[in-house]
Amino acid sequence: MKQLFTIFGLACLVLITMFYVSCVNKLSPQDTQIIEAMQPVAKGEGVAQAASYTHDGVTNPVVLICTSGKIHDWTDDIPTEWKPTSLGETELVICVGEEKEKSIQVCQYTGPSVTRYQHYVDVELREAKTGILVASTILYGSMPSYCKGSEDYYVTRLDGSDVSFDQLKSWLETYVIQ
């Protein structure tokens, strides 16, 4: 009986791992290859095999990476119609920095003080072929709730929401869909 539970437990672990991996990265090998080829763009270097940014009234294919050049968590969220099907089709590269936080206010209480934080990310949009900066912005998450007349003793911070992919998508539409 003990062996049966051990085998069942291992089978569950394998299934959970397979589910987790499939949810985390749905990129095809081709997508991964294109994204990895675009890593120099995050440093402002161009990729000669990439396409020029055309502004021609059609969708301008784009890939999304971290400013470090690695694959970003939001990469899977890029609409299929925005993605290039080859390196030679790639016109734009979105470089998203790590999410940061800034202190908005420190609220003093008789117990511990409470600090309010807003989250933000720096974003750069670069031409894939040249590495030239096309546009940049800072995207902010929502403001944290305001300090109340009193807070529970264990509360030491109030956070606004994280920055969402939908915010990035709204900003990008101007450049990707012309």
The pLDDT, as a whole number, for residue 25 is: 54
Quick: pLDDT tens for 37-85.
999 999 999 999 999 998 777 889 999 999 998 999 999 999 999 999 9
User: How far is residue 84's CA from residue 147's CA, in Å, rounded to a whole number?
Assistant: 46
Interval 124-151 mean pLDDT: 95
Length of the chain: 178
Q: How far is 98 from 23, CA to CA, in rounded Å?
A: 21
| The residue to which tokens 């299929």 are assigned | 80
Alpha-carbon dihedral 97, 72, 31, 95, rounded to 10 degrees: -10
Domain residue ranges of the chain, discontinuous segments joined by +: 27-176
Is the distance from CB of 128 to CB of 91 less than 8 angstroms?
Answer: yes
Q: For residue 106, which of 155, 147, 153 has the smallest C-alpha distance?
A: 147
- Considering the four listed CATH numbers 3.90.1570, 3.40.1130, 3.30.160, 3.30.1360, the one that applies to the domain covering 27-176 is 3.30.160
Average pLDDT, the chain: 87
Predicted local distance difference test score (pLDDT) of residue 177: 87
Task: Quick: pLDDT tens for 103-124.
Answer: 999 999 988 999 999 999 999 9
What is the sign of the dihedral through the CA atoms of 60, 64, 66 and 71? negative
Mean pLDDT of 141-166: 94
Q: How far apart (Å, rounded) are the C-alpha atoms in residues 121 and 8?
A: 43
Q: What pLDDT, on a 0 to 100 scale, did the predictor assign at position 40?
A: 96
For residue 157, the tally of other CB atoms under 10 A from its CB is 14
Q: Burial-class residue 130 by CB neighbours within 10 Å (0-12, 13-18, 19+).
A: middle
Task: Name the nearest CA neighbour of 159 among 176, 137, 142, 140.
Answer: 142
Residue 159 and residue 174: Cα distance in Å, rounded?
30
CA distance 104 to 117: 6
Report d(CA 74, CA 39) in Å as an integer. 16
Residue 1 is predicted with a pLDDT of 53
Each residue's pLDDT tens digit, 146-157: 999 888 889 999
Q: Quick one: pLDDT at residue 116?
A: 96
For residue 55, the model assigns a pLDDT of 78
